Amino acid sequence: MRNIHLLLNLLLIVFTLNKYSLVHAKEALAELWDVEDSELLNLLAIEEKLTAADKTLQLLLENYDSSFGGTYLDVKNRTVYVNTVDFSVVPIIINSSELIHSGYLKFIKFIPAPAKNLMATLTFWFNNIVELIKKLRPVNILAYIDIKLNNVVIYYNLKDEINKRFFKSARKFMPTLLQTNSPINRHSRCNETEISQLQILGVRMIKRRILNGEVIFNEIDRMCSVGFWSKNNKNEDLNYIVTAGHCCVDRSQLFYHLPWNYRRSQDSTQVGEMIESINNFKYEFCLVNITEDVYLPTVIRNTDSEDYRELIIEGGKNITSYSNHLCKSGHITHVTCGYVKELKAVSVHPSGQINMGLIIASKEFFETVCLGDSGGPAFSYLQDLSTASLNAITIIVWYDLSIFLPLHIILSKGGVELVRSH
Ligand SMILES: *[C@@H]1O[C@H](CO)[C@@H](O)[C@H](O)[C@H]1NC(C)=O
Ligand SMILES: *[C@@H]1O[C@H](CO)[C@@H](O)[C@H](O)[C@H]1NC(C)=O
Ligand SMILES: *[C@@H]1O[C@H](CO)[C@@H](O)[C@H](O)[C@H]1NC(C)=O
Ligand SMILES: *[C@@H]1O[C@H](CO)[C@@H](O)[C@H](O)[C@H]1NC(C)=O
Ligand SMILES: *[C@@H]1O[C@H](CO)[C@@H](O)[C@H](O)[C@H]1NC(C)=O
């Protein structure tokens, strides 16, 4: 009898746990930070303080470029870490009135720089490597400064024989080489490319509502995600959907929309036509001229969240600190978040196309982006869980590294501005 009671209790626990995990899907940001949803507001407030402290600190450190590497945040440790090469100037920094009066000092921790490299040296090496990339045209690589590691990193694929000359020349800048087939990349969450054979039978619906992160596709290419709504900065009647450059290939392609929960291609509706531009390749973004009567609220789709299914975009912003959170919405993996790892990476596509000034974000050992998420918005939460500022769009995946094109490049090179629907 006692045993049966125990068994029943166990069953009850199993049942309750199961039910709990079904009902209680954590916010993507809570998953990144590995905390409960209830702690998020507090941590967002801490992150904002740390970002402000880091900005002040970065300005101070500019005068001491022969003493420090980079700086980065750790929200859960409530700390801005400073990679320090020469500790003799630390008392001078600590004594600066900007840090004392702002109360930022208590968040700042000077730690020995792992590779003893100064930020000025890293920047010099990185710039030289970029010059080599332009000259020797390697393919299929990703180069960036890893602030935590305190060195320049080149991610590459061993199979690309054509890169030999480049690597021989790059060696003198002592980059850390990471192979794309290293063990950390084995656990792929992404399914094979979802190239859809959708027949386009779209009925024209009245005022289709299109959320950022939903599906946009054309007749011949894979499906991508809707980035955001923009308008020509000289003619506000010209409205565009921004998506990734490789989502637009042929001249004047027609584009269609699907929600996330579509069942058939009949659910699609035509939205517009791509605008031909050399910037599609040069900068990896594309503008789709909205020609149909659709409604695009400035809202990011976040259906998997219990309480915040639609995130309101409150404007655009540059990211300024390493290890800040960066989330993205896309039709394959929906909303996921990573830590900002780099703000000016250079990627070279297998075709040889070079893209510069890219943001890298990652969640160690996890892929936060899969192929069809390309084009979707990347954002950071403001001081609550229902509003966000737009930072970038998703453009490429490098195994566990997600690559984003910053908003400021799209706005300046596309001659567009953000549209606000409220
Ligand atoms: C943050 O604190 C944890 C626990 O004390 C420590 O293991 C970790 O290394 C710290 N993070 C950094 C970036 O130092
Ligand atoms: C700290 O700054 C004050 C005034 O700004 C100065 O008088 C003092 O000598 C400084 N102390 C150190 C250790 O640099
Ligand atoms: C990949 O496919 C499996 C099986 O069809 C599905 O359960 C899973 O959710 C898919 N993963 C992603 C990231 O779409
Ligand atoms: C975009 O669409 C509008 C409205 O259909 C049209 O007037 C305009 O010429 C198009 N612009 C471009 C650059 O294709
Ligand atoms: C964002 O960064 C770019 C490049 O560094 C700069 O040109 C632009 O002015 C910045 N925008 C804001 C709002 O700070």
Closest residue to atom 10 of ligand 2, CA basis: 95
d(CA 28, CA 328): 10
d(CA 206, CA 28): 33
Closest residue to atom 4 of ligand 5, CA basis: 408
How many CB atoms sit inside 10 A of residue 340's CB? 25
What values do phi and psi take at 383, rounded to 5?
Answer: -85, 20
CA–centroid distance, 189 to ligand 3, in Å, is 8
d(CA 401, CA 347): 12
Query: Which pLDDT belongs to residue 158?
Result: 75
Higher pLDDT pick, 244 / 281: 244
CA-CA-CA-CA torsion sign (159, 143, 322, 92): positive
Query: Which pLDDT belongs to residue 288?
Result: 94
The answer to which of 21-30, 40-49, 361-370 has the lowest mean pLDDT is: 21-30
Query: Which pLDDT belongs to residue 164?
Result: 92
Q: Whose atoms come closest to the Cα of 194: which ligand? A: 3
Give the amino acid at 84. Answer: T
d(CA 1, CA 7): 10
The answer to which of 196-200, 289-293, 303-307, 325-329 has the lowest mean pLDDT is: 196-200
pLDDT beyond 90 at 208 = no
Residue 79 Cβ inside 6 Å of ligand 3? The answer reads no
Q: For residue 311, what is the enclosing H or E element?
A: strand 310-316
Burial class (CB in 10 A: 0-12, 13-18, 19+), 229: buried
Residue 189 Cβ inside 6 Å of ligand 3? The answer reads yes
pLDDT grade, residue 155 (50/70/90)? very high
Give the amino acid at 87. Answer: F
SS3 84: strand
SS3 282: helix
Report the pLDDT averaged over residues 109-133: 96
Query: Which pLDDT belongs to residue 218?
Result: 84
Provide the mean pLDDT of the chain.
86
pLDDT beyond 50 at 16 = no
The most confident of 9-18, 65-74, 178-187, 356-365, by mean pLDDT: 65-74
pLDDT beyond 70 at 293 = yes
pLDDT grade, residue 369 (50/70/90)? confident
Strand partners, 112: 84
Task: Tell me the two tokens of residue 91.
Answer: 């008392």
d(CA 385, CA 164): 48
d(CA 216, CA 376): 10
pLDDT beyond 60 at 12 = no
Task: Tell me the two tokens of residue 85.
Answer: 């090469």
The answer to which of 27-36, 272-281, 300-309 has the lowest mean pLDDT is: 272-281
The answer to which of 7-21, 206-220, 260-274, 283-297 has the lowest mean pLDDT is: 7-21
Atom of ligand 2 nearest to the CA of 92: 14
Q: Pocket residues for ligand 2 (CB within 6 Å)?
A: 91-92, 95
Place of tokens 């940001």: 29
pLDDT grade, residue 393 (50/70/90)? very high
Query: Which pLDDT belongs to residue 249?
Result: 80
pLDDT beyond 60 at 202 = no
How many residues can be counted in the chain? 422
Render pLDDT for 273-291 as a digit per residue (tens, 0 to 9): 998 888 888 899 999 999 9
Give the amino acid at 2. Answer: R
Atom of ligand 5 nearest to the CA of 318: 1
The answer to which of 34-43, 49-58, 200-209, 381-390 has the lowest mean pLDDT is: 200-209
Closest residue to atom 4 of ligand 1, CA basis: 77
If one residue of 238, 274, 280 were mutated to test the ligand 4 pocket, choosing by the most ligand atoms within 8 A of its CB, it would be 238
Query: Which pLDDT belongs to residue 60?
Result: 95
Report the pLDDT averaged over residues 401-420: 95
Report the pLDDT averaged over residues 49-66: 94
Q: Whose CA is closest to 66, among 122, 110, 111, 105?
A: 122
d(CA 35, CA 27): 10
Q: Whose atoms come closest to the Cα of 344: which ligand? A: 5
- Beta-strand runs (E) in 222-291: 224-225, 228-232, 239-244, 254-258, 269-274, 285-290
pLDDT beyond 60 at 14 = no
Task: Tell me the two tokens of residue 140.
Answer: 């299929």
pLDDT grade, residue 189 (50/70/90)? low
d(CA 64, CA 79): 21
pLDDT grade, residue 193 (50/70/90)? very low
Report the pLDDT averaged over residues 347-374: 87
Task: Tell me the two tokens of residue 195.
Answer: 């190239």
How many CB atoms sit inside 10 A of residue 315's CB? 13
CA–centroid distance, 104 to ligand 2, in Å, is 18
Report the pLDDT averaged over residues 18-40: 77
Question: What are the percentages of helix, strand and coil residues in the chain, rounded to 5?
Answer: 30, 30, 35
d(CA 336, CA 392): 14
Render pLDDT for 161-184 as a digit per residue (tens, 0 to 9): 889 999 999 999 999 998 876 544
Query: Which pLDDT belongs to residue 7?
Result: 38
CA angle 246, 291, 333 (to 5 degrees): 40
Query: Which pLDDT belongs to residue 181?
Result: 62
pLDDT beyond 60 at 115 = yes
pLDDT beyond 70 at 306 = yes
